[in-house]
Amino acid sequence: MLLGTVIEQLLGGMITSIEIFLLTLLFSLPLGLLIAGGRMSKFGPLRWLMKLYISIMRGTPLMLQLIVVFFAPYYLFGISLSSDYRFISVIIAFTINYAAYFAEIYRGGIESINSGQYEAAQVLGYSRIETFFIIIMPQVFKVILPSVTNEVITLVKDTSLSFVIAIPEMFTVAKQIAAADASIAALLVAGIFYYVFNVIVAFVMEYLEKRMDYYE
């Protein structure tokens, strides 16, 4: 099969993989910050609940979480779901999984900031919210960017796990083409796509790190 034909057949799967990647980041990054806040809360029950949530999300396979999120509404509540829920369940599972990892990254970054900066901001008349978002978070982003980069690169590759609930992302489509044509050309193209995608992600994250050198 011609390379152009293979790429054309993979295009739909590529778009699906990119959608999963972007939507996961869109929802998991802010959710992770909220979970980190709960994890560091002085309110004991909330802190332990977030700790348990993070432990479960990090301690069980993402593939299992995908299956649970997809099948739970039917087996627990008898709800019949439309075919569109397949994609929605992928985004939900990826979001809650990656939010747990991002929460721990945020927590480590926030706790690395010297407590004296909070006191200095209070003396200057900043509120707690202003202190956090104007003074603390820019420094936290600088600290956590390498760890976030690692998770984002992992996410690019993890999008292939959505095959478990029959979402036709790129790797699934590549396997189907390879099986039908008895050729590995589609798998090689998929591998190149993942590599190029990760190179782009690494370049963007490196650019952000250099821009954050202001906070060195």
Q: Count the residues in the chain.
A: 216
Q: Band of the pLDDT at 2, cuts 50, 70, 90?
A: low
Residue 119 lies in a domain: no
Residue 86 lies in a domain: yes
What's residue 209's pLDDT?
Answer: 80
Residue 134 lies in a domain: no
Block residue for tokens 């036709």: 168
What are 95-149's pLDDT values in tens digits?
999 999 999 999 999 888 887 777 788 888 888 888 888 888 888 888 899 899 9
Residue 39 lies in a domain: yes
Residue 135 lies in a domain: no
Residue 67 lies in a domain: yes
Do 58 and 39 contact (CB within 8 A), yes or no? no
What are 38-86's pLDDT values in tens digits?
999 989 999 999 999 999 999 999 999 999 999 988 888 877 777 778 8
- How far is the CA of 100 from the CAs of 28, 44, 86, 206, in angstroms? 8, 18, 22, 23
Do 110 and 138 contact (CB within 8 A), yes or no? no
Residue 37, domain extent: 3-113+145-215
In the predicted model, what is the mean pLDDT of the chain? 86
> In this model, does residue 216 exceed pLDDT 90?
no
Residue 24 lies in a domain: yes
What are 163-199's pLDDT values in tens digits?
888 787 777 788 777 777 767 778 888 888 889 989 9
What are 4-36's pLDDT values in tens digits?
666 777 787 888 889 999 999 999 999 999 999
> CB within 8 A of 153, min separation 6: which ones?
198, 201, 202
What's residue 1's pLDDT?
Answer: 52
Do 89 and 69 contact (CB within 8 A), yes or no? yes
**What is the crossing angle of helices 185-211 and 3-39, to 10°?**
40
Total-model pTM: 0.87
Q: How many domains is the chain built from?
A: 1
Do 164 and 67 contact (CB within 8 A), yes or no? yes
- Structural tokens at position 88: 């929605």
What's residue 4's pLDDT?
Answer: 62
| CATH code of the domain in which 180 resides | 1.10.3720.10
What's residue 60's pLDDT?
Answer: 95
Residue 120 lies in a domain: no
